[in-house]
């Protein structure tokens, strides 16, 4: 998404990426958790990863990297990621501080992150209404059936503990079909492995709320007469010459975008984030979201940041406002931003789905540049 090259559709060649993040910083990419991509465990083929074990593994991997390249350890260090990295990143940052590492950690950026499963769950119905996936009539019936408080006030509803759960779950919306649940306005389906992840982890949440979203990965060729690009990076990374150049072990499995066993529930990052801001004085904590994603909605990110601001007594540095993309002749609006005085920031990216650097690479680069202190939002 943000590296120096993009694999072409032929799966054999590369193109330069105009908005690569390595143009402004040294980048280190980690395949996490263990058994994702080419990563492996020498003791077992399929380790049972958890949030805690992943945080420990990531920390040890970083320390190992800096042992090999000690001259880089003094440099300002930032951690970024997306989706479930909303769990990985704050927990890794906490390990760095707790273990009194000399890694010069200055900030974090989480894109469309699963920062808090409760906020994720509670934001889904409002997102569905706001994007026309459900009707106002259906929404009103759902609120009436599920909430014991003032109808229409989302934060006073708990769809996991409704006064009458039987009545609540009976308010069901007919199935909604979208080619891409990670970007509801994209005519092209996600890769098969991404679709499998959605069906396993995110689809059940909507269905439990009475909203069935069908993301059809079989439409990867043409959807509504729109020619969709083919996935070139998976076949490219599995070319024998590429594996050899990357020093991948001969017995390593085939590269895929996701993989590995994972156990336990989603660890909420509310307390972790409060600790990072109040105790460890993390420099910048940026949460950014594309506004077309049903997996980790922008409302999840926005409500998470709002809650953190309240719990840390963080004052707004300015009102919620639009931000403009650098380098565009007409100063195109990139989205909206809320800054707080302690470095906490929420960024909305217009027209992007779950993978902001893929959908809006210019905007993603600008957010990264803001994180490392060489641009403004």
Distance in angstroms (rounded) separating the CA atoms of residues 242 and 265: 36
Distance in angstroms (rounded) separating the CA atoms of residues 191 and 20: 22
Distance in angstroms (rounded) separating the CA atoms of residues 233 and 253: 16
First to last CA, the chain: 21
Strands 333-339 and 321-324: antiparallel
- CA distances in angstroms from 352 to 39, 126, 175, 298, 360, listed in the order given: 29, 18, 24, 10, 6
| Ramachandran angles phi, psi of 311, nearest 5° | -75, -15
Distance in angstroms (rounded) separating the CA atoms of residues 337 and 355: 18
Q: Which residues are catalytic?
A: 83, 293, 354
Q: Residue 186: helix, strand or coil by DSSP? A: coil
Distance in angstroms (rounded) separating the CA atoms of residues 194 and 37: 13
Tokens 């970083």: give the residue: 62
Q: Residue 302: helix, strand or coil by DSSP? A: helix
Q: Which residues are within 8 A (CB) of 163 and not within 5 positions of it... i.e. 6 or more apart?
A: 148
| Residue 99 CB burial class (10 angstroms; 0-12, 13-18, ≥19) | exposed
Full 3-state SS string of 18-63? CCCHHHCCCCCCCCCCCCCCCCCCCCCCCCEECHHHHHHHHHHHHH
Distance in angstroms (rounded) separating the CA atoms of residues 143 and 150: 9
- CA distances in angstroms from 184 to 252, 293, 369, listed in the order given: 35, 7, 28
């Amino acid at each position: 998404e943000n590296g120096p090259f993009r694999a072409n559709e032929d799966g054999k060649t590369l193109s330069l990426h105009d908005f690569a993040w390595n143009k402004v910083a040294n980048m280190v990419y980690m395949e996490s958790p263990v058994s994702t991509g080419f990563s492996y465990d020498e003791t077992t083929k399929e380790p049972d990863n958890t949030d805690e074990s992943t945080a420990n593994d990531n920390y040890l991997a970083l320390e190992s990297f800096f042992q090999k390249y000690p001259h880089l350890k003094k440099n300002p260090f930032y951690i970024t990621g997306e989706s479930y990295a909303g769990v990985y990143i704050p927990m890794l940052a906490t390990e760095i501080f707790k273990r009194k590492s000399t890694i010069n950690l200055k900030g974090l950026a989480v894109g469309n992150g699963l920062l808090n499963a409760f906020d994720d769950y509670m934001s889904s119905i409002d997102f569905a209404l706001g994007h026309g996936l459900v009707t106002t009539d259906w929404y009103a019936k759902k609120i009436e059936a599920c909430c014991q408080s003032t109808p229409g006030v989302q934060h006073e509803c708990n769809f996991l503990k409704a006064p009458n759960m039987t009545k609540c779950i009976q308010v069901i919306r007919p199935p909604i079909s979208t080619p891409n649940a990670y970007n509801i306005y994209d005519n092209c389906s996600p890769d098969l492995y991404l679709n499998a992840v959605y069906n396993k982890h995110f689809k059940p949440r909507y269905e439990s709320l009475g909203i069935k979203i069908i993301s059809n990965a079989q439409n990867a060729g043409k959807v509504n007469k729109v020619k969709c690009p083919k996935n070139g990076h998976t076949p490219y990374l599995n070319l024998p010459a590429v594996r050899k150049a990357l020093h991948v072990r001969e017995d390593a499995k085939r590269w895929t975008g996701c993989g590995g066993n994972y156990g336990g529930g989603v660890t909420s990052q509310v307390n972790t984030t409060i600790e990072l801001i109040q105790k460890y004085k993390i420099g910048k904590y940026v949460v950014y979201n594309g506004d077309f994603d049903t997996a980790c909605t922008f409302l999840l990110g926005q409500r998470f940041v709002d809650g953190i601001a309240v719990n840390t007594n963080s004052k707004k540095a300015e009102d919620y406002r639009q931000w403009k993309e650098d380098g565009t002749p007409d100063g195109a609006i990139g989205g909206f931003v809320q800054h707080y005085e302690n470095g906490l920031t929420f960024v909305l990216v217009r027209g992007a789905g779950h993978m902001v650097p893929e959908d809006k690479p210019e905007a993603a680069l600008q957010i990264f540049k803001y994180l490392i202190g060489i641009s403004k939002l």
